[in-house]
Structure 1
Amino acid sequence: MDLIQIILGVIGGLGIFLYGMHLASDGLKQSASKQLKSFLKRVTKNQVYGSGAGMVLAAVLQSSSAATVMVVGFVNAGLMTLRQSMGVVLGSAIGTTLTVQLIAFKVTDYALVFVSLGVLMFLIAKTQTIQHVGNIILGFGFVFFGMALMTNAMIPVQQSPEFMNWFVSATSNPIITILIATAFTAIIQNSAATIAIAMTLAVGGSMSMETAIAIVYGANIGTVITALISSLNASKDAQRTAVAHALFKIIGVLVFIPATFLFIQVLQTMGGSVERQIANAHTLFNIVNLLILLPFCNLFADWMTKLIKDKKSVDDFKYLDKNSLNFPTVALLNTQKELQYMAEKISERMFQPLLPIYVEEGSAVRQQIQSEEKRIDHLYRGIYHYLQEITEKKLTDDESRESLQMLYVNNDLEGISDIINELSSLSIKLEGNDILLSEWEKESIQILFEDVFQNFQDAVECFSEKDHELATKVVHQNPAIIRLEKELRFKHFHTEGGPSSRVSSVYMDLLNGLLRINQHSVNISQTTLGMI
């Protein structure tokens, strides 16, 4: 028995298997990412539909870990509530059993056919869609080829009495076997690969069904690690989703362990090869787990809320999540929500308090605006770097365009905050010279301010909601605001007695600043309309 050849065969086969999973998942994500987003929004209104959505999501991604990470990202972005996520997480576990069921069909003999077809489609493809389909077929070809390599590499091992004696001794304790399978799955981040290895050993008679079932239990628990890690820097609801996912798996295993003997009898009654029985064990475990826990999803959500308390830090980003960067669809949603959050802060903490500085002599607010402007700069830099990291990923044409639009909007929002900060500082000129604006000047500033502020709010809303009609309204409103500014400027210089030079300087700067803010609002609306 050549130990080096065996090790290389197993590790090489596992590597090709995992690479195939990555290719298939990447192809499916690229071809279905946009549809998945709208699909999840529609079907997560109750837990039953949510579990079905989870099955579809995991079947597309071919990884319950990846599916749960994506769900954590949706929760973090505020597109899915904690309660909605519970059913999706449970359903995602069933969707990933598809790969294991396919392996049990013994399609490994046709692995190179899949590889050849996938490569051919990728090379001759004239559209991105065909390329993605080629990637999917090529990925599954590598999955089956990797499985065949591992099976062939293990043949000499299974014929060794020394290995058999050691393996039986090492796996005699089901708890230890579960822990080993959990650790291995957590390391490779793929439960299908762990179960595929169990199938390889079981076919040659090296593993009992009891041990194979224990590995299935451990593989299911091991999938939770990736989601837990992905939630570390996410929102509290996202963390609650990840912890609930872990508890679902652990509770399921604790329920099944005492009934393992009965479970094996059910599997044997269903019939099929050893591989099929192991694949069925994986599927049935997750189906039964869903049926047991689905009625208690809302209770779980409430329990998670009590278990993981809210704790906010002003220095943290609200939605940006590094762990979602592998899922551009989710990462872009995170960015959009962070931009909305940034716009809300500008509106509430900077724009609205600006007017009282001049019309109500509320100079105390100036410090708040200056402080908030530093916070906006921090958000701007964070969003900018996050978008840079997104653009380094493999994006669809739509995702590339969306990331560019968000870069433009980020610049416009930061520009608005800078202008508001400048305008708040203008009042120092008035206070330093003990000069007040006239009642007419205050009223005229208020008129222009209200129009510009409304346009800003409309611009933010049209970007958030992708509302082209509202975006068009903002763009069409621009000439009217420019005319109003010119009228106010004209009236100011033609008032009886004429204005003082110091008042004129501040007044003109205010009008000009509001006009510049409005131009940024128009820019945001034009970006929404695709005019970039």
Structure 2
Amino acid sequence: MTENILYILGGVAIFLYGIELMGDGLKKTAGNKIRSVIEKTTNTPLKGILVGILLTGLLQSSSGVTVLVIGLVGAGLMTLKQAVGVVFGANIGTTITSILIGLPIADYALLFIFVGVIMIFFFKKPLIRNLGGTILGFGLVFFGLDTMEIGLKPIVATEQVSDLFLLFSDTSNNFFWFFGVTFGTLFTAFIQSSSASIGIIQKLYHMNVESGVVTFTLWGALPMILGSNIGTTITGFLASINGTLESKRVAVIHILFNLIGTAFFLILLYPYHEVVLWIETTFLEPYSMGTLAIAHVLMNVVTTLLLFWFIDALIKLAHVIIKDKPYNDELEVIFSESLLQETPSLALFYVKKGINKMGQITKDYFLIAKRYSFTNEPDTIERATEIENTLDDYDKRLHDYMIRLVRNNALSEKDSNRLSRDLDTIRDFERIGDHLTNLVGFFKNRYEENQTLSKGGEEDLRHYYRVLEEMFDATLASFIYNDIEKAKLAIEYENLTDKLEEKFRLNYVERLKAGELNFTSKTNYVEILSNMERIGDHLKNIAENIINPLRVPRLDTEDNPLE
């Protein structure tokens, strides 16, 4: 018994690893184009379905595609309606694995393994090595199933296991379908792969003819297949827990699709059984592994055809289940870290989305500080503290995630350059926030001391703020849209800010000499100009990284203990 259990456990492990390796090899072969394909070719539900089928066939995981879609929706790169089509297609695409497993090619498993290993170890080109990983994984899938069968044969023949299968297959028991659906759901949720669970169910069903004892019939297998479709939604559900509202709605629609499809086929279980049985007896052999592959395809294709006409209704229902929150958590709408492990390129898109938001928050903070410089609004200090904490939070979360991204992934040179640039940009926005906090503090002190700006001082500051605001807009546009012309414009503005800082400092000295104002330790006018000039420096850093992302990082004097 111990030896049989080891065969089963080892076979399942090899089988699951084979599916993972096959999908990973295909994903690496496709590269970062996976995200781009989903984002750009899903403008209609029908196209989304076709893309979902194609990509799930490549990744060998409907859960993986669903998680990618949840990530793109959370990043704002896809609409919910676009996502629904891809999710529908993913449910059809996941049947490809069961079809492959159902084909009579298990005798060539070791040959696939041999070819895959040769391609991995004797070739240096990444494309060939990745393709080799796919072929190796394909071979391991069948080798794992055969290994598992060695241990299962004697166990399946035992009275206890036969009774268990009869529980699933005995139609005289009114709840046989419930036991099958529950088993399929829990088993798939546990291993988080409907392709894997259905592959194992296919093997168990096929073993009837080899054992000569029919205990696991089509009646017992079909509810398990239906349950597997429910269980596969667990991965997307877990991925959406910390995501945006739209991400959660994608997961809900995925669950609704499979629940509705399962309920529909359970209601029509008898005709469903008769159709699959007719296909088996007409085109296949009794207890063929291909029988359940056909049943899986039929269930998902019919469900897609039915629900295709109710996409808008599903979206409305998802909005009812996941209601809009009465408040807007700015951090929540940026990213969910649990979704960023699928591909490095998707992770970097999340980072870019987060930095874009961080830049806009910094710009809002700039406008608040500008208003406070001329009008003592009572809630400014509290609001400034909130924004400063938000920027610090963005800085920490984005920075920490990007470091984990570097450690966990072998990034391409292009992605490494983008990541390095983005790290600098995050730091610059956070430092701008620090300077704005200083400005708010300076004016708070002035208001407490009843220090008012002279006419000339106010004119100079308004002029300086106006130039910085235009520079801010140019810098944000250059970063968000990777616009080099806007970046060059921002750098021109920075040269102007340096000259203005020097000019306005001299104007201040002239006003002191003329007796237009009284100097006190609380005046802080020179420090105000200095902080505004430093804001311009950090905006220039961001713009320079757009023009030349490979440039040597500048020495940040604020980090230099010698200054």
TM-score exceeds 0.5: yes
The match for 1:85 among 83, 86, 99 is 83
List alignment gaps of at least 5 residues for structure 2. Answer: 171-175, 209-213, 552-563
- Are 1:310 and 2:324 counterparts? yes
Structure 1 pair 153/526, CA: closer, same or farther in 2 (3 Å)? farther
Structure 1 pair 63/497, CA: closer, same or farther in 2 (3 Å)? same
**1:469 Cα shift?**
3.5
Structure 1 pair 486/27, CA: closer, same or farther in 2 (3 Å)? farther
The match for 2:380 among 354, 365, 378 is 365
- Are 1:421 and 2:437 counterparts? yes
Cα offsets for 1:318-338 (capped at 9, x unmatched) = 323132132133333222222
- Are 1:337 and 2:353 counterparts? yes
| SS at 1:320 equivalent | coil
The match for 1:239 among 231, 248, 269 is 248
**1:21 Cα shift?**
1.9
| SS at 1:392 equivalent | helix
CA distance in 1, matches of 2:219, 2:401: 47
* Letter of the structure 2 residue corresponding to residue 252 of structure 1: G
**1:351 Cα shift?**
0.7
CA distance in 1, matches of 2:44, 2:67: 20
C-alpha contact (below 8 Å) 1:24/1:138 kept by paired residues: yes
The answer for the alignment partner of 2:560 in structure 1 is none
The match for 1:523 among 541, 546, 553 is 541
* Letter of the structure 1 residue corresponding to residue 444 of structure 2: I
- Are 1:497 and 2:519 counterparts? no
The match for 2:236 among 218, 227, 240 is 227
The match for 1:181 among 181, 184, 193 is 184
Structure 1 pair 364/163, CA: closer, same or farther in 2 (3 Å)? closer
The answer for the alignment partner of 2:99 in structure 1 is 101
Structure 1 pair 22/357, CA: closer, same or farther in 2 (3 Å)? same
Instruction: Give the count of matched residue pairs.
Output: 529
The answer for the alignment partner of 2:211 in structure 1 is none
The 5-angstrom pairing of residues 334-483 of structure 1 reads: 334-348=350-364, 350-362=365-377, 364-397=379-412, 398-483=414-499
Structure 1 pair 271/353, CA: closer, same or farther in 2 (3 Å)? same
C-alpha contact (below 8 Å) 1:357/1:366 kept by paired residues: no
List alignment gaps of at least 5 residues for structure 1. Answer: none
CA distance in 1, matches of 2:25, 2:431: 38
CA distance in 2, matches of 1:262, 1:471: 67
Question: Bigger CA drift: 39-48 or 325-334?
Answer: 325-334
Q: TM-score scaled by structure 2?
A: 0.87
* Letter of the structure 1 residue corresponding to residue 220 of structure 2: T
The answer for the alignment partner of 2:556 in structure 1 is none
Question: Bigger CA drift: 486-495 or 443-452?
Answer: 486-495
Q: TM-score scaled by structure 1?
A: 0.92
C-alpha contact (below 8 Å) 2:373/2:443 kept by paired residues: yes
The answer for the alignment partner of 1:296 in structure 2 is 310
C-alpha contact (below 8 Å) 2:233/2:254 kept by paired residues: yes
Structure 1 pair 167/112, CA: closer, same or farther in 2 (3 Å)? same
C-alpha contact (below 8 Å) 2:27/2:59 kept by paired residues: yes
C-alpha contact (below 8 Å) 1:14/1:150 kept by paired residues: yes
C-alpha contact (below 8 Å) 2:29/2:127 kept by paired residues: yes
C-alpha contact (below 8 Å) 2:13/2:144 kept by paired residues: yes
Cα offsets for 1:180-203 (capped at 9, x unmatched) = 011000000111111111221222
Structure 1 pair 509/266, CA: closer, same or farther in 2 (3 Å)? farther
- Are 1:511 and 2:558 counterparts? no
Q: Calculate percent identity across the aligned residue pairs.
A: 29
CA distance in 1, matches of 2:50, 2:103: 24
**1:269 Cα shift?**
6.4
| SS at 1:531 equivalent | coil
CA distance in 2, matches of 1:169, 1:110: 35
* Letter of the structure 2 residue corresponding to residue 136 of structure 1: T
Structure 1 pair 466/7, CA: closer, same or farther in 2 (3 Å)? farther
Question: Bigger CA drift: 235-244 or 319-328?
Answer: 319-328
Question: Bigger CA drift: 135-144 or 238-247?
Answer: 135-144
CA distance in 1, matches of 2:122, 2:514: 79
The answer for the alignment partner of 2:561 in structure 1 is none
**1:503 Cα shift?**
8.9
CA distance in 2, matches of 1:316, 1:171: 51
C-alpha contact (below 8 Å) 1:325/1:389 kept by paired residues: no
- Are 1:211 and 2:220 counterparts? yes
The match for 1:131 among 129, 132, 151 is 129
CA-atom RMSD in angstroms = 2.5
CA distance in 2, matches of 1:160, 1:200: 17
Cα offsets for 1:3-23 (capped at 9, x unmatched) = 222221121111111112222
The match for 2:146 among 148, 154, 176 is 148
